[in-house]
Amino acid sequence: MSEQVLSEGRLPVGSVGKRASGWWGMLCLIATEAALFGYLLFSYYYLALQGGGVSFPPAELPKFALSGPNTAILIASSVAVWWGERGVKSGNRARLVIGLLIGLVLGAVFIGIQFLEWSNKNFTLSSTAYGSLYFTITGFHMAHVAAGLVGLALMAIWGGLGYFDDVRHAPISIGAVYWHFVDVVWLTVFFTLYVTPYFW
């Protein structure tokens, strides 16, 4: 009956920036996936320290020839996505889509080089505990990259369709933070698998 307009002011409506539920949901997803990688790396360190007659890594130390540039490629893809996200915040659709597509291509290259590295290994998933860990850890990461690629593609499509502007672009922020997370995970995986053996 008596309806009265709020005199205190207006409220934004819909998915706006960090007020979008999806943003917090993505943070929860990142927390749980970060824990997952934490446990994967824990397993690596545990089995490495326990020995059991198997050396970590077997025979030769891991090489940086492929993994080094690959790391740089993944970092660059994050930079591209970040640059694209800045674009949508200033209403620049072209920059958004280009940034996402560059990120997508670089991410795909990352996966390709990773497969190349896999094929170069002289051990398999079932050779020893080290082999099991190496392929499982990098495999889990690759799966997350692949999911991220699907996300980047979708974001590029949606951006191209004009779905976003300077106020409403929550899916971009949400997808971008996921992509940066995948990048950070790679740094921890890279450190564990490629760098720490030089210190054993």
Partner 1 sequence: MSAVEYERAPVIADGGFETPAAERLEKIWETAPGIRGWLSTVDHKKIGIRYIVTAFVFLVIGGIEALVMRVQLASPNNTLLTPEAYNELFSTHGMTMIFLYASPILSGFSNYLFPLVLGSRDMAFPRVNALSYWIYLAAGIFLYSSFALGHGPNDGWFNYPPYASREYNPGPNIDYYSLGMILLGISTTVGAANFVVTLIRARCPGMSINRLPILVWGTVTVSVANLIAVPCVSLAFFLLWLDRNYGTHFFTESGGQPLLWQHLFWIFAHPWVYVIVLPAMGMVSDGLPVFCRRPLVGYTPVVLGTITTMVLGFGVWMHHMFAVGVPFVSTSFFSAASFVITIPSAVAVFAWVATIWTGRPVFTSAFLYFASFIAMFVIGGVSGVMTASVAADLQLTDTYFVVAHLHYVLIGINVFAVLGALHFWFPKMTGRLMDERLGRWAFWIIFIGFNLAFLPMHLTGLFGMPRRIYTYPEGFGWGALNMVTSVGSFLFAIGVLLYLVNVFRSLRSGARAGSDPWGAPTLEWATTSPPPPYNFPVIPKVASRHPLWEKQLGEGIGESSVRRGLLLDHGREIPGTSGLDGDPDVILKMPGDTYVPFLLAVALAAGFVGLLLQLWWLIGLSVIGCTAAVIAWLWPRAALGQRADRDRARARGTVA
Work out whether 60 is an interface residue with partner 1 (CB under 8 A). Answer: no
Q: For residue 17, is it left (φ>0), alpha (ψ between -120 and 50) or beta? A: left
Instruction: Return the number of the residue (73 or 132) whose C-beta is nearest partner 1.
Output: 132
Work out whether 54 is an interface residue with partner 1 (CB under 8 A). Answer: yes
Q: Minimum distance between the CB of residue 130 and partner 1, rounded to whole angstroms?
A: 6
Tokens of 70: 């690959």
Residues 20-39 binding partner 1 (CB under 8 A) are 21, 24-25, 28-29, 31-33, 35-36, 39
Closest by CA to 78, choosing from 191, 186, 189, is 186
Question: One symbol per residue from 80 to 119: x for binding partner 1 (CB under 8 A), - otherwise; what is it?
Answer: --------x-xxxx--x-----------------------
Which of 19, 69, 116, 143: binder of partner 1 (CB under 8 A)?
A: 19
Q: How far is CA 137 from CA 99, 134, 141, 170, 190, in A?
A: 28, 5, 6, 31, 10
Work out whether 129 is an interface residue with partner 1 (CB under 8 A). Answer: yes
Site residue total, partner 1 (CB under 8 A) = 67
Work out whether 196 is an interface residue with partner 1 (CB under 8 A). Answer: no
